[in-house]
Amino acid sequence: MASNREIRKFTFQALFQLDAHHGSQPEIVSQWLKTCDDLSEDARVKVYRLALEAFSNRKAADDEFTKLAPTWPAYRQPAVDRALLRLAHYELTKGEHKDQPRLVMNDIIELCKQFSTDKSPGFVNGLLDKVYKRLHPQAASVVEPAASVQPAVVEPAAMEHAAVEPAPLVAATDEPAAVTSVLDGAVTADDVGAEPAKE
C-alpha cells in the first residue's frame, strides 16, 4: 500500500497535468496513472479522485494565495509550486487529512524540495503557514513556556577576587582562521566537555 506521501507525490503530478491541459482532458491523467506500476489499483483511484477534487477547488486556493502574496498570483507561480499549493490548500481545508495539517505541510514542502526550485520551499512554506494559522488560530497563538532557569548565586566575597577581562573585539569576517584565533585560549576542552587535544 502506498504511503500518504507517495499518494501526494502522484496526486501533485496528476494535478500538474490537469493544470497543463486546463482540466479539459482528465482521461490523460487516468491513462498516465495506469502506467504507474508503483501504485495499486486502489491507490490509483485515490490519486485520481484527490487530483480532481483539488483541481475543482483551485479557485478557492488561488484566491487565498493571491490575498496572501498579491505580487505572486497563481499565473505567475511556477507550475510545480502552483500544483503543490493547490493540493495542500485542498488537503488543509477539505481533505481527509485536514486534521493532520503539519503532516500535510511537511509532505508538500518535501515534494517542493524534490521537484521545484531552491527558493520555492521557503515561499510555499510561508504561504502554507499563513493558511495553517488562519485555520488553527489557537495553535498560532500558543507560546511555549520558557524552561525554568535559575540564576546562579554568586557570593559577593567571591566577586572581589575574580579577575574579569573584557572579551576582545573581532572584525566581522568569514575566515575560519580569524574565528579560531579568537577562540584560542578563550574556550578550553573542559568548557565543552571534550578531551584536551594532545600536542
- Residue 98 in any domain: the answer is yes
- Residue 190 in any domain: the answer is no
Residue 2: predicted pLDDT: 86
Determine the structural domain holding residue 61 and report its residue range. 4-137
Mean pLDDT split into 10-residue runs, the chain, 199 residues: 92 96 90 93 95 96 96 95 97 93 96 95 96 87 45 46 42 38 36 41
- Residue 95 in any domain: the answer is yes
- Residue 148 in any domain: the answer is no
The residue whose grid cell reads 584565533 is 181
Give a three-class secondary structure readout of the chain: CCCHHHHHHHHHHHHHHHHHCCCCCHHHHHHHHHCCCCCCHHHHHHHHHHHHHHHHCHHHHHHHHHHHCCCCCHHHCCHHHHHHHHHHHHHHHCCCCCCCHHHHHHHHHHHHHHHCCCCHHHHHHHHHHHHHHHHCHHHHCCCCCCCCCCCCCCCHHHHHHCCCCCCCCCCCCCCHHHHHHHHCCCCCHHHHCCCCCCC
- Residue 77 in any domain: the answer is yes
The residue whose grid cell reads 482521461 is 27
Q: How many domains does the chain have?
A: 1
Residue 141: predicted pLDDT: 52
Domain CATH code at residue 18: 1.10.940.10
Residue 12: predicted pLDDT: 96
- Residue 87 in any domain: the answer is yes
> Treating both helix axes as pointing N-terminal to C-terminal, what angle do 58-68 and 120-135 enclose, rounded to 10 degrees?
100
- Residue 60 in any domain: the answer is yes
Q: What is the pTM of this model?
A: 0.69
- Residue 183 in any domain: the answer is no
Residue 140: predicted pLDDT: 60
